[in-house]
Amino acid sequence: MDVYNIFFSPTGGTFKVADTLAKALSEGACHQIDLTVWHDEMPRCDFRPQDAVAVIAMPSYAGRVPGVAAERLSRINGAGMKAVIVCVYGNRAYEDTLVELHDIAEKAGFAVIAAVAAIAEHSIARKYATGRPDEADRLVLTKYGDAIKRKLLSGDFSCPSIPGNRPYKDGMKAGPVPQPSDACTGCGTCAGQCPVAAIDTNDAAIVNKDACISCMRCVSVCPVSARHIPLAALQMLEQHLEPLCSARKECELFV
């Protein structure tokens, strides 16, 4: 069985989860379809839906699928391919992310047969869920992959009950916008890698604040660690998250 790993992952946590699951599911080739930096051209997807399964993985932003990721996924034609949907969150909560991802995937022509919620390091407040997914998560995700494979092999293609509400909760309001420090060399990596092209390609200090989705991609790809969100904004967020994020949460499988 081939696996199509379709993901949006600005700082890599969502990809780590999706990759572990995809490898556990795969008995053939594992194709990567990266929706993170996709300015104009649609990634090439030569689906062979009959003998393949898709892993569709998105981070949770304010308990929702990031709008730009939803829009990109909706442009892919699932052609009836079975799909495992995955939401990855920073140990606070994922709220309506999975149910929204289910709806987008089905509308794009995928047939959802399983859902997974997993935890990765909080990409803004990195003191929460630091280092996750860790070894324990990887073991659990591999077991989930085996369980999903058994379901597929048994010929059971039913859609499980998925947690979340419709209508969905309100999505992201404006978030913190990273800025370069004096260490910035002007190499342009952040501008080239920004999922929404919000950074000026000639001057990394010029950011379109309306376009920025606060995904922290620019912070994570900067080769000299020169981009940061303002310290006061980070400390306020950490304080807010402290009671919500501190206790370890575990992965969940809906099958």
- The verdict on 9 binding ligand FMN (CB under 6 A) reads yes
Question: Would residue 198 be called left, alpha or beta, if left means φ above 0 and alpha means ψ between -120 and 50 degrees?
Answer: alpha
Applying CB under 6 A, among 33, 68, 85, 88 the residue interacting with ligand FMN is: 88
- The verdict on 120 binding ligand FMN (CB under 6 A) reads yes
Applying CB under 6 A, among 60, 65, 117, 219 the residue interacting with ligand FMN is: 60
Q: Residue 4 or 61: which CB sits closer to ligand FMN?
A: 61
Pairing between β-strand 2-7 and β-strand 52-59 as defined by DSSP bridges? parallel
Q: Residue 145 or 178: which CB sits closer to ligand FMN?
A: 178
Question: Would residue 32 be called left, alpha or beta, if left means φ above 0 and alpha means ψ between -120 and 50 degrees?
Answer: beta
Q: Would you call 190 helix, strand, or coil by DSSP? A: helix
- The verdict on 122 binding ligand FMN (CB under 6 A) reads yes
Pairing between β-strand 252-254 and β-strand 111-119 as defined by DSSP bridges? antiparallel
What amino acid is encoded at 56 in this protein? Answer: I
Cα dihedral across residues 30, 88, 63, 214: positive or negative: negative
Applying CB under 6 A, among 112, 124, 212, 218 the residue interacting with ligand FMN is: 124
User: Mask of contacts with ligand FMN, 165-204, x by CB under 6 A?
Assistant: -------x--x-----------------------------
Cα dihedral across residues 85, 49, 18, 60: positive or negative: negative
- The verdict on 215 binding ligand FMN (CB under 6 A) reads yes
CA angle 151, 155, 160 (to 5 degrees): 50
Q: How far is the CB of 30 from ligand FMN (least distance, A)?
A: 18
Q: Which residues bind ligand FMN (CB under 6 A)?
A: 9-14, 59-63, 88-93, 120-124, 172, 175, 214-216
